[in-house]
Amino acid sequence: MNVLTVIGARPQFIKACMLSRALKSYPEVNEIIVHTGQHYDASMSDVFFEQLKLPKPDYYLGIGSGTHALQTGKMLMELEKIMTAVNPDMVVVYGDTNSTLAGSLAASKLHTPIAHIESGLRSFNRKMPEEINRVVTDHLSDWLFCPSRSAAENLKREGMEKQVFVTGDIMYDAVRHFKSFAGQQSTILQELSLSENNYYLATIHRAENTDDPNRLKAILEGLMQLKKRTVLPSHPRTKRKIDEFKLNDIIDTSHIKMVEPLSYFDTLTIASNANVILTDSGGLQKEAYMLQVPCITLRDETEWMETVKTGWNRLAGANKEQIADKVMTCHTPEESPPIFGDGNAAQQIAGILINGDAEN
Ligand code: UD1
């Protein structure tokens, strides 16, 4: 059985690694990995393959950056060629990136069944490219694997009830699998002279924040007001936009420490030892919950409402007063119910895809 996996961006490497491992226990499965090249810097791509021991991609498309149409269109053209040559029994796509959209569109036109992992998430904000990618991918998919019950409810509201499986979150599998090993391997705390629970971790990469000078400025000003030092691993685009909007003057480097994008092991280590995490990333909001670190989300809405309802995550938007206030009043809730399942999502997904074993 040929399973064709399409990946291209950082969080997809992490998710795919876990399913890839689970698929290995099925000798009849031949997984073919296509890397679109949406993320191409060594720190955004290669280091994840090395640490996660992800098999080398069978195809590397080298698409790189561009406008949404350009990037997605180029991917579509290349994926169609590969899918036609390989004739897979199914195509697996992850999350909500342009690589996800291209993978599902190409497969659907070739009548190849599609499995969407991390299905059913909604921000209800169609201005986000990710929201468009998710909605389209969900409606094209044949298996919809939801990380949480609320994701399945979103699908139900849009008329999708069949082949919807709540498996828990595959990123939780990865956190459980790699956390202690990452802690042993990573030297990031020493490298950055950080002591446990005595710094904040921030990440900013969403277009809505990086491409709007007012929002980016307000977030940086918010971080400057915080009592402890903030480590800011910077996505290449964020760095470029800070330069373009001439926002470097806001940053006092003794207070905000900008560093290169971090590897998965360094991220897990620096995140689990942070006092508070401030982020606009979907993945890091979840990882904060999984690692039991309070999170402030630098967006006006989130797809991960369970983390908000349990008190672990609070929305501050791009408002400097809110950012400072939310961090100051931050507390650690007593309970963290298993909103992302039991850490066995990959096994369940593989069982359903290969044998049709469904528990729900
Ligand atoms: C993408 C996803 C986002 C996901 C994120 C994970 C879409 C629409 N967005 O956002 O949902 O949360 O990945 O990290 O697919 N760049 C580099 N080197 C790289 C990659 C990107 O310099 O290796 C720069 C380029 O200038 C590029 C910009 O970052 O134009 C944006 O990259 P892109 O892949 O388009 O989107 P992300 O912001 O990374």
Residues 182 and 83 in one domain: no
How far is the C-alpha of 265 from the C-alpha of 270, rounded, in Å?
A: 9
Please check whether residues 200 and 118 belong to one and the same domain.
no
Whether 190 is covered by a domain: the verdict is yes
Beta carbon of 44 within 6 Å of any ligand 1 atom? yes
Model pTM score: 0.96
CA dist 116 and 95 (Å) reads 7
Q: Is 205 a catalytic residue?
A: yes
Which residue in 35, 39, 116, 205 is the catalytic one? Answer: 205
Q: CA distances (Å), 103 to each of 123, 253, 278, in order?
A: 22, 41, 31
- Are residues 158 and 245 located together in one domain of the fold? no
Q: Which atom of ligand 1 is found nearest the CA of 41?
A: 23
Q: Looking at the CA of residue 206, tell me the nearest atom of ligand 1.
A: 38
Is 139 a residue whose pLDDT tops 50? Answer: yes
Q: Give every CB contact of residue 184 below 8 A, 6+ residues apart in sequence.
A: none
- Residue 336 maps to a domain: no
Q: How far is the CA of 324 from the centre of ligand 1 (A)?
A: 28
Q: Is residue 16 part of a domain?
A: yes
Judge if 155 and 207 occupy the same domain: no
Alpha-carbon distance of 190 to 196, in angstroms, equals 10
Same domain, 291 and 153: no
Q: What is the dihedral of CA 166, 171, 176, 178, to 10 degrees?
A: 150
Residue 323 sits in the same domain as residue 346: no
Distance from the alpha carbon of residue 38 to the mean position of ligand 1, in angstroms: 7
Q: Tell me, letter by letter, the H, E, C secondary structure of 42-75.
A: CCCCHHHHHHHCCCCCCEECCCCCCCHHHHHHHH
Span 58-114, pLDDT tens digits: 999 999 999 999 999 999 999 999 999 999 999 999 999 999 999 999 999 999 999
Whether residue 187 lies inside any domain: the answer is yes
C-beta of 261 in contact with ligand 1 (< 6 A): no
Same domain, 201 and 150: no
Q: Is 64 in the pocket of ligand 1 (CB under 6 A)?
A: no
**Pocket of ligand 1 contains residue 297 by CB under 6 Å:** no
Whether the CB of 205 sits within 6 Å of ligand 1? yes
Measuring CA to CA, which residue among 83, 1, 73 is closest to residue 34? 83
Indicate whether 24 and 85 sit together in one domain: yes
Residues 164 and 15 in one domain: yes
The closest-lying atom of ligand 1 relative to the alpha carbon of residue 237 is 29
Does an H or E element contain 106, and which? helix 98-109
Determine if ligand 1 sits within 6 Å of the CB of residue 41: yes
What CATH number has the domain bearing residue 47?
3.40.50.2000
Q: Is residue 115 part of a domain?
A: yes
Cα of 52 vs centre of ligand 1, distance in Å, is 20
Instruction: Look at the chain and report how many structural domains it folds into.
Output: 2
CA distance to 123, 131, 149, 340, per residue, from 135 (Å): 10, 6, 17, 21
Per the CB < 8 A criterion, the answer to whether 116 and 138 are in contact is: yes
Q: Do 184 and 163 fall within a single domain? A: no
Q: Which of 6, 12, 38 to mutate to test the pocket of ligand 1 (most atoms within 8 A of CB)?
A: 38
In a domain, 311, yes or no: yes
Tell me: do 324 and 347 sit in the same domain: no
Kindly give the distance from the C-alpha atom of residue 302 to the centroid of ligand 1, in angstroms, as a whole number.
19
- The protein residue whose alpha carbon is closest to atom 12 in ligand 1 is 281
Mean pLDDT on 212-234: 97
Give the structural domain span for 320.
177-328
| Domain membership flag for residue 106 | yes
Residue 128 sits in the same domain as residue 209: no
pLDDT of the residue at 257? 97
Ligand 1 pocket residue status of 137, Cβ below 6 Å: no
* Confidence tier at 358 by pLDDT (50, 70, 90): low
Distance from the alpha carbon of residue 285 to the mean position of ligand 1, in angstroms: 18
Question: For residue 9, how far is its CA from the centre of ligand 1 (angstroms)?
Answer: 7
The percentage of the chain sitting over the pLDDT mark of 90, rounded to a whole number, equals: 98
Residue 333 located in a structural domain: no
pLDDT digits (tens, 9 = 90+) for 18-58: 999 999 999 999 999 999 999 999 999 999 999 999 999 99
Q: Give me the sign of the Cα torsion angle 250, 278, 12, 52.
A: positive
In short, whether 303's Cβ falls inside 6 Å of ligand 1 is: no
Per-residue model confidence (pLDDT) at position 360: 42
Quote the strand ranges of the chain, DSSP E.
2-7, 30-35, 59-60, 90-94, 114-117, 143-146, 164-166, 200-203, 230-233, 256-259, 276-279, 295-297, 313-315
